[in-house]
Amino acid sequence: MTYLFTSESVSEGHPDKIADQISDSILDAMLKQDPRSRVACETMVTTGLAVIAGEVTTKAYVEIPDVVRETIEKIGYDKEDYSFAAHSCGVQVALHSQSPDIAQGVNVGEGVDKEQGAGDQGMMFGYATKETKEYMPMALAFSHALVKRLAEIRKNHTDLIGYLRPDAKAQVTIEYNEDNTPKRVHTIVVSTQHDEFPGISDDEALAQIARDVKEHVISAVIPSELIDDETIFHINPTGKFVIGGPHGDAGLTGRKIIVDTYGGKGAHGGGAFSGKDPSKVDRSAAYASRHIAKNLVAAGVADEVLVQVAYAIGVSTPVSLNVTTYGTSNVDLTDAEISKVVEGIFDMRPSAIVERLGLTNPIFTPTAAYGHMGQAPYTDTVEINRTEIVEDGDKTISTVITEQKEVEFFTWEKLDYVDQIKSAFNL
């Protein structure tokens, strides 16, 4: 018997995603000056207001309101009609230093085993499946693609649809065969914020939106062979959607953890990502676990993999690492035996993860919309502001030197361990 599975995504203009992007933009701004910055930055947005709170230990000096406004403007909130605009919204900042009780277990040389310890206890998960080219669940991959396409049209192709506003959601239901392979798209839900439609009725406006979304959004990202005459479409099912963004709902950092990861497939340890520096294993170990899972599936060890890792605060070595293959293993080993082999390949101490994945670089803002997992890795040049201090007699002269640095983004999505894994498993 076939079965259904559903995942959702939200656009960069969704209130919670605005908050995530602000938090990560502040983190990146600090890492550009001080790669050892310790940051736990939370954001709340509502009508005409952004509130920034949390704990920070850094040598960087950042004009927080400027970073907040630049981020909001880039997302597309630049009109007073939205009741939340980059140039006019209030920005309140309440950041203070990190607890020294936590720092002593995280800083190198101060942990239980004198290495960089985990920033907190907890468990993190990484998941991968071969059902899409991104090694992501199909329902989530399609949901991300729909809201990303809406943003692309809003920003770059207003000749196609000229009335889109930043806030949007998408949801896709996939029908699976008994052997767990995708069969077809069962249902697509798209809700997009839009301008007023003067001179026509609400019903006429909704009909226009439905036609445009089907033609320019859904048809552009969902393979036609997966859609049939029985596929169900719900486009702006509640009707008019003019009031949205932070004016429609308050947004908070870390409130879209399933959108950020695997759309409900696999598992989630509960920790959010955005606004956290890589000493927080909620983030870094989740990335490392995805890196392991993706490379295991790509190497052919199994068709579906879930990796769990767990830590004690202040301790560098994980308390456990477990690999689950859901009965899809292609090697003559138990899941427990696969886990032992994986432990010998991947060093999961926090400092090793940070070094392996290049997580002290300012690479986090792009992760804060359309999923932390499943996006293609790439290299780009970023601006680094390094402070040089020179002693001149009884004077201390501080100079900020701006440099261009080439860095890798989404390093945890690289398939750079496939050959090593194949060798270890004799594949």
Domain check: are 234 and 348 in the same one?
Answer: no
Domain check: are 170 and 59 in the same one?
Answer: no
Provide the residue type at 365 as one letter: T
Domain check: are 267 and 239 in the same one?
Answer: no
Domain check: are 176 and 212 in the same one?
Answer: yes
Contact 292, 302 (CB under 8 A): no
Tell me: is residue 214 an annotated ligand-binding position: no
Domain check: are 91 and 145 in the same one?
Answer: no
Tell me: is residue 391 an annotated ligand-binding position: no
Task: Identify whether 113 is part of a domain.
Answer: no
Task: Identify whether 68 is part of a domain.
Answer: yes
Say which of 250, 298, 312, 424 is annotated catalytic: 250
Task: Identify whether 409 is part of a domain.
Answer: yes
Known catalytic residue: 335? no
Tell me: is residue 228 an annotated ligand-binding position: no
Task: Identify whether 117 is part of a domain.
Answer: no
Task: Identify whether 115 is part of a domain.
Answer: no
Say which of 32, 154, 165, 256 is annotated catalytic: 256
Domain check: are 293 and 412 in the same one?
Answer: yes
Domain check: are 322 and 387 in the same one?
Answer: yes
**What's this model's pTM, rounded to 2 decimal places?**
0.93
Known catalytic residue: 211? no
Known catalytic residue: 265? no
Pull the structure tokens for residue 50.
Answer: 């952004």
Angle at 411 between CA 425 and CA 276, to 5 degrees: 120
Say which of 255, 386, 414, 422 is annotated catalytic: 255
Q: What's the CA dihedral at 61, 62, 64, 66 to 10 degrees? A: 140
pLDDT of residue 96: 85
Known catalytic residue: 395? no
Contact 263, 132 (CB under 8 A): no
Say which of 32, 186, 247, 276 is annotated catalytic: 276
50's enclosing H/E stretch is strand 49-57
Known catalytic residue: 276? yes
Task: Identify whether 106 is part of a domain.
Answer: no
The total of structural domains in the chain comes to 3
Domain check: are 227 and 296 in the same one?
Answer: no
pLDDT of residue 394: 72
Q: Is 56 helix (H, G, I), strand (E, B) or coil?
A: strand
pLDDT of residue 110: 46
Domain check: are 198 and 91 in the same one?
Answer: no
pLDDT of residue 385: 82
Closest to 324 measured CA to CA, from 265, 281, 373, 283: 265
Known catalytic residue: 216? no
Q: Could you tell me the residue range of the domain that residue 170 belongs to?
A: 3-10+137-244
pLDDT of residue 192: 97
Domain check: are 319 and 419 in the same one?
Answer: yes
Domain check: are 262 and 286 in the same one?
Answer: yes
Domain check: are 397 and 354 in the same one?
Answer: yes
For the domain that residue 192 is a member of, what is the CATH number?
A: 3.30.300.10
Contact 56, 38 (CB under 8 A): yes
Tell me: is residue 255 an annotated ligand-binding position: yes
Tell me: is residue 249 an annotated ligand-binding position: yes
What order of strands is seen across the sheet that includes strand 164-176? 3-10, 164-176, 182-194, 232-235
Task: Identify whether 84 is part of a domain.
Answer: yes
Cβ-count burial 178-200 (b if 16+ within 10 Å, e if not)? eeeebebbbbbbbbbbbeebeee
Task: Identify whether 93 is part of a domain.
Answer: yes
Tell me: is residue 240 an annotated ligand-binding position: yes
**pLDDT tens-digit profile, the chain (427 residues):** 999 999 999 999 999 999 999 999 999 999 999 999 999 999 999 999 999 999 999 988 899 999 999 999 999 999 999 999 999 999 999 998 765 544 555 555 444 444 677 767 889 999 999 999 999 999 999 999 999 999 999 999 999 999 999 999 999 999 999 999 999 999 999 999 999 999 899 999 999 999 999 999 999 999 999 999 999 999 999 999 999 999 999 999 999 999 999 999 999 999 999 999 999 999 999 999 999 999 999 999 999 999 999 999 888 899 999 999 999 999 999 999 999 999 999 999 999 999 999 999 999 999 999 999 999 999 999 988 876 666 667 776 667 778 899 999 999 999 999 999 999 999 9
Known catalytic residue: 255? yes
